[in-house]
Chain A
């Protein structure tokens, strides 16, 4: 046991003396996570951070309906989502569309209110910004919904539309009886529509979820995959030291000392596991601090961490027991890590894979590793994560046992 400790401490001292390789491995998931964070404007689940729709409106109508539309941005709730600016001409609208990164220019045509209240067909014009991809589509969809609601409103108003238009034009206000009749008529129409409109068949329940745990959190979904990928890269690069030592003769020299090959191999596995565990702690801390990911209770996180670390280390031990040179191991390790990440659902949901790939995906270490971490990030506890932990334990046990056995055999053949 003392020999294993001495060998392990030696490796850790070497890592500390030259930590560049380890830091590079850790930087990969952190940089990828940071890029995703920036690309998606922060946490995916934070509705307050949703991008604002910036839209220009050219009101050629100046009628009551157009004023109702342009006044929407005065609503405080709408103002958080909508940045609506009026322009005086089409030219100004097109110029600002180009220069000020607005998503679209909505043109309310002349006579829009009149036509709508007279129940005549009318067109809204929307000019989308070709330099943007997502927000112009949002603007289009909102305009389509607006059109639908305005059409419904016009049909509810029915024949009273013309009278309403006249009132909005500032005439007919002296006819109190007429106004009363109009209001009564409108009330009756709305009441008639009551059975059609109320109660709504679908209700949206809005609750205040606990901070940072509600909704789909894209970063909390993606980052565990990055963590798993980073751990696999780290374990592969660290385990390569076994063949590096073999190449430079220090491994053979160790084997001339009074200790067995099993001790040498076990010490290497242990030192790699410690470095991977450190990497895990740093990545988890980075996820918490930089991306505000909650990893849940310490117990399940510690157990998941331990098994993920052992499984990644076992995978690396098995890999390097089969390859002949460090370069082969690095190359194959990189390919296998990417393959496991792709098939294991690091970058996209497993459901997106073709059906025939699904069984293959279950063989991927990454799937179970980042799967467990995702469960924890989504608030799951022991019960939710136990299945993943059992699979990880199995992978760790089988890979480590095979790796150590194969490396031992290589030593007996004099090939280490």
Chain B
């Protein structure tokens, strides 16, 4: 297959596997990202998200499976495929000694831009992330949030058709996060295919058109946010903290019609309820049982509850 025949979708990942020594980091992950779509890989640290992105960006070669970028193989020296791809790594991969504009100029040049086209691209990228006024400042002097924005701009400077974002909002303030999410949305609206990894549930729900929940290198569930929510059920989720005992709570759930125990560990437990009535019955049973509870919450089903249901544990930062 040619490096880029332009016939396939921007990104197709099929059954890829990769191990670090004896540790299997990615175990048969498959998904596809269409043009103009934001696809999220959601999972805790160590789930295999970064390894997956490394295989897509050509840094690692899959042991098995296939990564196709616009129909061409990603691994090997497929320069044409890489030229259409923008990568924003988890770390702020910039040169502190150079200014914001110099950084963008360098990365733009690496992607083949030159002359007026390069100057235009640098100007546009700076404008996109709101750094026009700081263009001549050394990166080392910028705040963490501004560095993150520039990190994103570097991935966009050459106008990629496929954008890989590996946790681009880690460790920044809410304002900078919102700005970055806005830029990503605008890119997708402009037709760019975006692969977005995160372990922030709210962020993923907010920005992604479709999601894959990954853990231990496997895709546990995939679909739109609505489809994933339905996997948990339509009813609310009851979460409690306190003196909890798995056997006792299991028996208690059995006495309540339409209630199931999702998880029970480390002093916390979660139940799924079929509807409001089932939820009321569960709460009543909990108080009647005389459990010493420190906290009790009733929530609408969300990705957190789905993750709980799928893995039996909470997705934390």
Contacts and interface: CB of A to CB of B under 8 A. Distances in A.
Interface of A: 3, 6-7, 10, 13-14, 17-18, 248-250, 252-260, 414
Contacts of A14: 95, 97-98
5 contacts: A7-B110, A18-B97, A250-B94, A253-B154, A256-B57
B87 A256 contact: yes
A257 B93 contact: no
A412 B46 CA distance: 22
Given A6-B109, A14-B97, A249-B93, A258 B87 contact: no
B54 A253 contact: no
A7, A249, A257, A414 — most chain B CB neighbours (10 Å): A257
B277 to A, nearest CB: 53
Given A17-B97, A259-B79, A414-B54, A249 B91 contact: yes
Nearest to A250: B93
B106 interface: yes
Interface string B91-125: 11111011000100011011110000000000000
Given A14-B98, A253-B87, A258 B93 contact: no
Contact of B58 (A6, A13, A248, A256): A256
B54 to A, nearest CB: 7
Contacts of B107: 253, 257
Given A17-B98, A18-B97, A250-B95, A258 B59 contact: no
A352 to B, nearest CB: 44
Contacts of B102: 13
Nearest to A414: B60
Contacts of B109: 6
Interface residue tally on B, bucketed by range: 20 to 34
Interface of B: 54, 57-60, 77, 79-80, 82-83, 85, 87, 89-95, 97-98, 102, 106-107, 109-112, 138, 154
Contacts of B97: 13-14, 17-18
Given A17-B98, A252-B59, A256-B58, 8 more contacts: A14-B98, A249-B92, A249-B93, A254-B110, A256-B59, A256-B87, A257-B107, A258-B112
Contacts of A250: 93-95
Contact of A17 (B83, B91, B138): B138
Nearest to B112: A258
Contacts of A249: 89-93
Contacts of A13: 97-98, 102
A62 B129 CA distance: 98
B107 to A, nearest CB: 7
A128 B155 CA distance: 78
Contact of B110 (A18, A257, A414): A257
Nearest to B20: A414
Contacts of A260: 77
B111 A257 contact: yes
Contact of A252 (B77, B89, B94): B89
A14 B154 CA distance: 17
A18 B111 CA distance: 26
A390 B59 CA distance: 39
A14 B106 CA distance: 11
A2 to B, nearest CB: 8
Contacts of B90: 249
B140 to A, nearest CB: 9
Nearest to B102: A13
Contacts of B95: 10, 14, 250
Nearest to B91: A249
Contacts of B80: 258
Contacts of A254: 110
A314 B58 CA distance: 28
A248 B87 contact: no
4 A-B pairs with the lowest CB-CB distances in the bound complex, closest first: A249-B93, A258-B79, A249-B91, A17-B97
A258 B83 contact: yes
A214 B86 CA distance: 65
Most buried by A among B82, B109, B154: B109
A7 B95 CA distance: 12
Contacts of A258: 79-80, 82-83, 110-112
A292 to B, nearest CB: 37
Nearest to A14: B97
